[in-house]
Structure 1
Amino acid sequence: MPVTLHKVDYACWAADVQVARDLSLIYADAPAQRLPLPADEYILQHLSQGGLFCCARFNERLLGAVAVERDDEAWWLSHFCVRKATRRRGVGSRLLALVGESAYGEGRVLRVAVSSLMVGDQLLLSRLGYRLAEGGNYFELNPLASQGGMQ
């Protein structure tokens, strides 16, 4: 499945009806306990606060998304979700790999707060190479370290 990365910021979401619809469908499939607000409210709040969504795109449709907040050191990931109909096909793993490549291109590491994770999420992150930070507050993937860059 040739999945590509598609970044959605507020302008993209507001201008592209299909992107808005797809993002809404992705988060509508999320278990209620995973989102702090109903799906559409969560999406709007995240985007209006300057966040973005990194999405898995296949055949011009968005199939999965992860919320991203960027700072000077890292991209903080949260609220990862893949459409129910496409789960267990590698979409999520591919999306996280593409996000890692994009973060690497900007000289950033990836971090995920432990407080936002369920046990299954922690297992997936560990399998994908994320490591629990020394203080235990977040998981981190540092693609720069494996490339001989920043540590």
Structure 2
Amino acid sequence: MSAAHTGVPSVLAHPLPRPVPADELAACPAGEVFRRVGDKWSVLLVIMLGGRPHRYNELHRAVEGISQRMLTRTLRGLEADGLVRRDVHPTVPPSVEYSLTPLGRGLLEPLSALADWAVRNAPEINEARSRHRARAGGETAPPP
């Protein structure tokens, strides 16, 4: 970061063109990561695997509401992104264990910072939501 940008968050250091071109948005490496960690299950699985490796069925039992299909798709996506390693052990039947790669471990720090921010600011966010609902005539806003 240059001296002129000291104290400026990196996401603001480079102004976006207006309008943002769709192809630029699609090609943005940060956007790709945000889409991956912004889905419903990826962050939860990364956090769980951050504690220790898990077998597939262990993950499926531990995450209420996730279907086998969605667990498989999410793990495959995390594996394709290099965040999760899939190890097949030569047993009968074969057992599969998932763990974080060093790249996946590196994601734990920014996820922790975001989680800490969310917990710290939850009361203010909840108050803002209440004020918004009151201004909207009591209509329920869609969940975030």
The interval holding the TM-score normalised by the smaller chain is under 0.3
TM-score normalised per structure 1? 0.24
User: As a proportion of its length, which structure holds more strand?
Assistant: 1
TM-score normalised per structure 2? 0.25
For CA contacts below 8 A with separation 6 or more, give which structure has more relative contact order.
1
User: As a proportion of its length, which structure holds more helix?
Assistant: 2
Computing the radius of gyration from Cα coordinates, the structure with the larger value is: 2
